Chains A and B, each alone.
Chain A
Amino acid sequence: AQSVTQLDSQVPVFEEAPVELRCNYSSSVSVYLFWYVQYPNQGLQLLLKYLSGSTLVKSINGFEAEFNKSQTSFHLRKPSVHISDTAEYFCAVSDGSSYKLIFGSGTRLLVRP
């Protein structure tokens, strides 16, 4: 069965600093990878996704993630964070034959002024 590991439960960072949130998944023949964001007291929203093609995918608000098949990773990065990026971020994976998304335990990004 698929599994997802987010090793960092919380990442504190100062505003305008770069950040990387790590995600590793168990190997599979083909996978779809997702990053979701959850703001306080809200549901989850899709941030970006990898389906196929270019291994670097980007969101509209400056986040990007790179699919690395050899390292089974899908780390999320942003070169300069804002206070408004404070939220919990979840990495998720589904294999090509399953409708089910399996989520990691989440990383809380705390951006300080």
Chain B
Amino acid sequence: NAGVTQTPKFQVLKTGQSMTLQCAQDMNHEYMSWYRQDPGMGLRLIHYSVGAGITDQGEVPNGYNVSRSTTEDFPLRLLSAAPSQTSVYFCASSKLKGTGNTGELFFGEGSRLTVL
């Protein structure tokens, strides 16, 4: 099983450029989310979705957009990259609670983004 797949694994941007981090899962998970990981700060939730057409903001949503047109895909868009967005980004998914799941997240391998 592929699980959660993120692309690209590495990306270097210049300030002001835009890009999209891709995330796809093949486990039919309703819930998908994006986290950023920074040294000493753990993982912080950026945006999440509980199903196609439904998205919501997490702890640190500014500077990022998301959409959820299908169950499988949850892309993260940076419209105008800033050096403060240099980070490692993780996509994670899970079944929703109430369907036998408990909120356990399945993670992709991460996308390392550097903004110069």
Contact = CB atoms under 8 A, between A and B. Distances in A.
Interface residues of B, number: 26
Contacts of A105: 40-42
Nearest to B97: A99
A112 to B, nearest CB: 22
A42 B110 CA distance: 7
Contacts of B33: 100
Contacts, number: 57
Interface in A28-47: 32, 34, 36, 41-46
Contact of A99 (B35, B94, B107, B110): B94
Interface in B66-116: 90, 92, 94, 96-97, 102-105, 107-110
B58 interface: yes
A103 B58 CA distance: 12
A79 to B, nearest CB: 25
Given A49-B104, A99-B50, A44 B42 contact: no
